[in-house]
C-alpha cells in the first residue's frame, strides 16, 4: 500500500511574522483521499502506523502567492530543449537579481507542448526547508500548488480553491487571485469556478506525476547511501559462513594428517613386529631397528651408504683421486682426496653436503704438487 501526506507550506510572509497558521493537509492512500484538514491533525496522519512494505512519502505544496507559474510553448523544440529555453526566458523576464531567484522548469511530455516554469526565491526555499526541518520532515518533492489546477478552455479562466488559496488559472499562467487584478488579467474572458471534484482529481494526478519539483538545482537533496537491511543480514551470514569454512579447512586437514600419521606409525610398529622388534610406538621401533642394524654392520651406518655417496660425488669431478679410505663403527667415513686444484676437491665436498651429509675437511699439500685434503663424512645425515 502506498500512502502520501500532502502538506501545504505556509506563505513566506507568514513565516517571517512568526505566526504561521496550521497548514492545510490531506492524506492519500492508494490514490484515494482518506483524510484532510486545516489543523495539526497532519501529525497523527503522518505518524499513523502502516505495514512494513508501505511506500510512504511526503509531498509539500508551495503557495501560489510565492510561486506563480507560467507555461511557455516552443513548437519546434524537443521536450528537453523546451524545458531549457523556458527556464532561460523566465529568468530574463523576472525582476530582481538573478542570483537570488530559484527558477525551475518542467519537461513537456511531447514535443510542441508548453513547458511549465516556476519562479521563486532562494530565501523562500530556505524558509520552507527550515520550517520542514524543524518538524523533522523530509519531503519527497515540493510542488507549486498552482500546478495542480488544470488548464481551462481557451475562452475562459478557472478559479479554484487549493489549500487556503484561491488560484486563478489561464491557458498560460497560474497565480493567486486578486479581486482588483483578476478582471484586468482576464480581459474579456470569464472567470468560472472549478468544480471541487474535478479539482480533486487534478490534484491526485499532479501528485502521481508532478510536472516540476522545486527540489532541483541547488535545492536537490543530496543522495544518501543506505544499505538494504536484508542485504546486510545476507552479507553477515556469508561472512560467518566464510569464517567457519576457513577454520574448518585447517582443522580437517590436521585431523586427516594426524589420522594418516597414526596409520603410518601403526604400519611401522607392525613391520617391526614382523622383524622381531616389539616397541610401543614407531619412534621406539625405528631406534631399535637402527641399533640392530648398526650391531650387524648394516643400515644407514654401514660402509656402503656414505661410500656410495662419495663415489657419486667424485664421478662429477674426474680430476679428484681417492688416496685412503677407512670406516668406523659409528658410521663415520674417513678418506684422503687429491686433485690438481682445490676447487675440484671443494666440488666433491659440496656434492656430499647437498646430499645431507656432515663433512669436515683438512687441506694439505701433496709431495707431487697436488692439492690434498683429509675428509670425514658422517654416514648418518
Task: Order the strands of the 359-365 sheet from edge to edge.
Answer: 321-327, 332-339, 371-378, 359-365
Distance CA 339, CA 372 (A): 6
Residue 223: pLDDT band by 50, 70, 90 thresholds? Answer: low
Shared-domain flag, residues 322 and 252? no
Residue that is last in its domain, among 295, 313, 336:
295
Look at residue 117 in the predicted model and tell me its pLDDT. Answer: 95
Shared-domain flag, residues 281 and 320? no
Shared-domain flag, residues 212 and 245? no
pLDDT in tens, 26-40: 888 888 888 888 777
Shared-domain flag, residues 57 and 168? yes
pLDDT in tens, 227-274: 678 888 889 999 999 999 999 999 998 888 888 888 888 887 787 777
The residue with cell 510572509 is 13
Residue that is last in its domain, among 188, 219, 250:
219
**Is the pLDDT reported for residue 92 higher than 60?**
yes
Shared-domain flag, residues 115 and 100? yes
pLDDT in tens, 110-161: 888 899 999 999 999 999 999 888 888 889 999 999 999 999 988 889 899 8
**Is the pLDDT reported for residue 298 higher than 60?**
no
- Dump the DSSP string for 290-331: HHHHHHHT-GGGSTHHHHHHHHHHHHT-TT-EEEEEEE-TTS
pLDDT in tens, 302-332: 677 788 888 888 888 888 888 888 877 777 8
Shared-domain flag, residues 309 and 346? yes
Shared-domain flag, residues 48 and 142? yes
Shared-domain flag, residues 291 and 309? no
Helix (H) or strand (E) holding 333: strand 332-339
For residue 198 the three cell numbers come to: 474535478
For residue 86, CA distances in Å to 77, 78, 113, 174 come to: 11, 12, 12, 15
Shared-domain flag, residues 139 and 116? yes
Look at residue 104 in the predicted model and tell me its pLDDT. Answer: 93
Is 228 inside any structural domain?
no
Is 41 inside any structural domain?
yes
Residue that is last in its domain, among 250, 272, 295:
295
Is 233 inside any structural domain?
no
Is 81 inside any structural domain?
yes
User: Domain span at residue 320?
Assistant: 299-378
Is 224 inside any structural domain?
no
Shared-domain flag, residues 215 and 88? yes
Shared-domain flag, residues 215 and 310? no
Residue 48: pLDDT band by 50, 70, 90 thresholds? Answer: low
pTM beyond 0.95: the answer is no
Is 229 inside any structural domain?
no
Neighbours of 4 (CB within 10 A): 20
Q: What is the mean pLDDT of the chain?
A: 84
Q: How many domains does the chain fold into?
A: 3
Amino acid at each position: 500500500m502506498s500512502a502520501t501526506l500532502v502538506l501545504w507550506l505556509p506563505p513566506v510572509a507568514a513565516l517571517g511574522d512568526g505566526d504561521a497558521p496550521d497548514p492545510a493537509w490531506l492524506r492519500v492512500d492508494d490514490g484515494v483521499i482518506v483524510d484532510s484538514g486545516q489543523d495539526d491533525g497532519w501529525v497523527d496522519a503522518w505518524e499513523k502506523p502502516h505495514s512494513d512494505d508501505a511506500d510512504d512519502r511526503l509531498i509539500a505544496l508551495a503557495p501560489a502567492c510565492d510561486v506563480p507559474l507560467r507555461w511557455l510553448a516552443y513548437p519546434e523544440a524537443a521536450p528537453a530543449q523546451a524545458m531549457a529555453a523556458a527556464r532561460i526566458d523566465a529568468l530574463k523576464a523576472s525582476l530582481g537579481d538573478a542570483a537570488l531567484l530559484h527558477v525551475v522548469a518542467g519537461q513537456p511530455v511531447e514535443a510542441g507542448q508548453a513547458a511549465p516554469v516556476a519562479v521563486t526565491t532562494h530565501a523562500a526555499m530556505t524558509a520552507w526547508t527550515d520550517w520542514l526541518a524543524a518538524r523533522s520532515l523530509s519531503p519527497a518533492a515540493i510542488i507549486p500548488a498552482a500546478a495542480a489546477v488544470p488548464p481551462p478552455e481557451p475562452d475562459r479562466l478557472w478559479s479554484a480553491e487549493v489549500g487556503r488559496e484561491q488560484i486563478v488559472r489561464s491557458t498560460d499562467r497560474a497565480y493567486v487571485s486578486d479581486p482588483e487584478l483578476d478582471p484586468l488579467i482576464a480581459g474579456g474572458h470569464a472567470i468560472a469556478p472549478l468544480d471541487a471534484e474535478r479539482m480533486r482529481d487534478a490534484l491526485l494526478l499532479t501528485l502521481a506525476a508532478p510536472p516540476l519539483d522545486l527540489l532541483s538545482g541547488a535545492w536537490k537533496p543530496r543522495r544518501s547511501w543506505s544499505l538494504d537491511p536484508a542485504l546486510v543480514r545476507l552479507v553477515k551470514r556469508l561472512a560467518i559462513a566464510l569464517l567457519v569454512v576457513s577454520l574448518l579447512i585447517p582443522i580437517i586437514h590436521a585431523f586427516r594428517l594426524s589420522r594418516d600419521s597414526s596409520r603410518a606409525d601403526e604400519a611401522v610398529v607392525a613391520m617391526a613386529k614382523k622383524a622381531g622388534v616389539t616397541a610401543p610406538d614407531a619412534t621406539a621401533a625405528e631406534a631399535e631397528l637402527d641399533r640392530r642394524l648398526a650391531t650387524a654392520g648394516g643400515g644407514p651406518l654401514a660402509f656402503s651408504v656414505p661410500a656410495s655417496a662419495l663415489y657419486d660425488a667424485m664421478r662429477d669431478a674426474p680430476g679428484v683421486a681417492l688416496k685412503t679410505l677407512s670406516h668406523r663403527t659409528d658410521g663415520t667415513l674417513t678418506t684422503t682426496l687429491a686433485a690438481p686444484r682445490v676447487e675440484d676437491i671443494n666440488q666433491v665436498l659440496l656434492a656430499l653436503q647437498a646430499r645431507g651429509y656432515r663433512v669436515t675437511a683438512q687441506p694439505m699439500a701433496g709431495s707431487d704438487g697436488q692439492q690434498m685434503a683429509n675428509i670425514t663424512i658422517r654416514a648418518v645425515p
